Structure formats: C-alpha cells, structure tokens
Amino acid sequence: MTMPNPPDILTITIRKRPWWFWVLGGLWVLLEVLFLQTALASARESEHRAAAIGWILVAVFGAAGVLVWFLQGRSRGRAR
C-alpha cells in the first residue's frame, strides 16, 4: 500500500453566496419567528386549531429551510 503523492498545487475555492440567498434566508427566519409566535399566542388564546397549524408551519417551513441549506451546500461541493 503506497500513499498517493499529494498534488503539487492545492486549490481552495471560496465562493460568495449570492445576495438573494441572504434575502431569502432573512425572510425564512422572519416567517419562522412569525409562525412560532402564532403557535404560542394562539395556544394562549385557546385557538387550538390555529396553534396546531402554527406548529405544523414551523416544522414544515423549518425542515424545508434546513433541507435547502443542505442541498445548496452539496451542489456547491459538486460544482467544485
């Protein structure tokens, strides 16, 4: 077993995320906070269905955001 020789030149590429990514990310955080607050406040106001939908939105929207973040990172890796 012989270790392969390291390349003579190692290239590290740092790509800046596009501006719209940060706008969408900010919007995602705002909506997550809004849905979370809706879920908590609706429960306090005995609006149980609204609270349940609020929790569902928090979960679905949160998972979708994490998924997009993850997939975007992978696609950037492949591009390199």
Partner 1 sequence: MQGVDRNNNVERECKQTGRRAFLKAAGLIAAGGAPVGASALERGTSGNERKRAWWVKAVERPTLGEKTADFKRFSGDNIFVIYRQLKAQREGAGSFEAEQTAKAKRLAGWMREKKPGFRLPDHQLSEGAWTLMQTTEPGAGLLSWTRISVRTPAELGVERHTAPPEEMAQTVKAAARLYGAGLVGIAPMNEAYVNLRQQKKDIVLEDADVPAVTDTKFVIPRKMKWVVAMAIPMDLDLLSRAPTSLGDAATGLGYSHSAFAVASLAEFIRGLGYQAIPSVNDTALSVPFAVEAGIGELSRLNKLVTPEFGPAVRLCKVFTDLPMACDKPVDFGLVEFCKKCKKCAEACPSRALSFDDEPSFKTRGPWNNPGHKAWFEDSYKCFRYWQKVDNGCGICLASCPYTKGSQAWIHSVVKATAAVTPAADGFFRIMDNAFGYGRRHDPEQWWTKDPPPGPRG
Residues that bind partner 1 (CB under 8 A): 34-35, 37-38, 41-42, 44-50, 53
- Residues 55 and 58: their CA atoms lie apart, in Å, by 5
Q: Of how many residues is the chain composed?
A: 80
CB of residue 39 to partner 1, shortest distance in Å = 9
> Which residue's CB is nearer to partner 1, number 59 or number 67?
59
- Residues 7 and 10: their CA atoms lie apart, in Å, by 6
- Residues 73 and 55: their CA atoms lie apart, in Å, by 27
> Which residue's CB is nearer to partner 1, number 16 or number 44?
44
> Which residue's CB is nearer to partner 1, number 36 or number 68?
36
